[in-house]
Amino acid sequence: MNKAILFNFEVDKANHQIKVERSFNAPIDLVWPAWTEAEIIDQWWAPKPWMAQTKSMDFKAGGHWLYAMVSPEGEKHWCKVDYIRVIPHEYFSSFDGFCDENGNLNTSLPRNKWENSFAGQGGETVVNILLSFDTLEDLETIIEMGFKEGFTAGLENLDQYIAAQFRLRQQNKTDHTARVSSYLNFPGNTEEAFNFYKKVFRSEFINGLQRFEDVPADHNHPPMAESVKKMVLHVELPILGGHILMGTDAPKEFGMTVNAGNNMHINLEPESRAEAKRLFDELSEDGVVEMPIRDMFWGAYFGSFQDKYGVNWMIHFQKK
């Protein structure tokens, strides 16, 4: 993750266009979802301290993305993206414009066309973006509204997101082989407990102890309490027969309470995203969903629930 970032930003007034070339130190299968899935794009699209908030998204030709740029005071500026053409992992085009919360376009402000092309170069991805405007006046209006500064800040947010995903992906599971593990929750003494298990099973942690302070700061949340930073976010320990014991601290500072009913989950890691969704939907039927299955900041498709018999489950699909 230490390659130099390529960033070219060119304003072509003669053709009413903006051309952006930007590299990301990650493969296309990580970068593409960050531009096309609402749960991820909401995490980086807006320049801090603003945030993006999706109301609806249907990423396909003929579909749309309706979202708001939200200020720290709750002020909202609505935008709508209408998708024109999609070639998965290679290209998509769209029309982008300002609107109201129901998606009705504001014709007094410019609307422009986006063409985004994605190219893999080893472990790196280069995204070429072409923005086309109807008139020079429309182009200059967008520039005056701070597009370059805002878009640049958003891309830097995306760098942070990708770096966190890429690091955790490399450290943890590196293939799609299905496995089942046990996941334990502790009120703050995970490290003590797992050192005990490590001694009993005469085993070693996989990639050591990952702590809460290792997670990149999220501008959507308040600063992490000092009492939480050194707690264990994730640990993996092989025990018998290839079974993996995993664990985490569940801090009271996050509103969590560990008891004999929620301190252990069966953790399923299927071989595909589709199978993860199927298992989640069928096992959670008539149960209680703790966390809906979705893309998480560490690069996994994840959800958790208690089934109708009171058994706790986690579903976790991690891309290669």
Q: Is the Cα dihedral 280, 281, 286, 290 positive or negative?
A: positive
pLDDT higher than threshold 50 for residue 2: no
Q: Are 236 and 205 in contact (CB under 8 A)?
A: yes
The torsion angle over the Cα atoms of residues 58, 295, 53 and 111, rounded to 10 degrees, is: -40
Lookup: tokens for 11: 């304003």
> 221-246 pLDDT, tens per residue?
556 778 788 888 889 988 877 788 88
Q: Are 235 and 283 in contact (CB under 8 A)?
A: no
In the chain the domains, ranked by start, together with CATH numbers, are 7-171 (3.30.530.20), 179-318 (3.10.180.10)
Integer Cα distance of 252 and 304 in angstroms: 19
Confidence of residue 217 (pLDDT cuts 50, 70, 90): low
Distances (CA, A) of 307 to 46, 181, 208, 255, 289: 37, 17, 31, 22, 8
Q: Which of 132, 121, 123, 129 is closest to 152 using CA atoms? A: 129
- Residue 69 CB neighbour total at 10 angstroms: 18
Confidence of residue 35 (pLDDT cuts 50, 70, 90): very high
Among all chains, which residue has been given the structure tokens 């994730």? 234
Distances (CA, A) of 86 to 82, 222, 243: 11, 37, 42
Confidence of residue 211 (pLDDT cuts 50, 70, 90): confident
Q: Look over the chain and give the mean of its residue pLDDT values, rounded to a whole number.
A: 85
Crossing angle of helices 147-171 and 136-144, in 10° steps, is 70
Integer Cα distance of 270 and 272 in angstroms: 6
pLDDT higher than threshold 50 for residue 162: yes
Q: Which of 126, 99, 139, 101 is closest to 27 using CA atoms? A: 126
> 115-154 pLDDT, tens per residue?
999 998 777 899 999 999 999 999 999 999 999 999 998 8
Higher pLDDT, residue 224 or 180: 180
Q: Are 291 and 315 in contact (CB under 8 A)?
A: no
Q: Are 70 and 50 in contact (CB under 8 A)?
A: yes
pLDDT higher than threshold 60 for residue 285: yes
Max CA distance (Å), the chain = 72
How long a stretch of residues is the chain?
Answer: 320
pLDDT higher than threshold 60 for residue 205: yes
Side by side, which strands form the sheet with 288-295? Answer: 210-211, 232-238, 244-249, 179-186, 264-269, 312-318, 300-306, 288-295
Integer Cα distance of 267 and 243 in angstroms: 11
Q: Is the Cα dihedral 91, 95, 96, 102 positive or negative?
A: negative
> 91-125 pLDDT, tens per residue?
999 999 999 999 999 989 889 999 999 998 777 89
Confidence of residue 1 (pLDDT cuts 50, 70, 90): very low
DSSP string computed for 230-288: TSEEEEEEE-STT-EEEEEE--GGGT----TTTSEEEEEE-SSHHHHHHHHHHHTTTSE
Single-letter amino acid code for the residue at 106: N
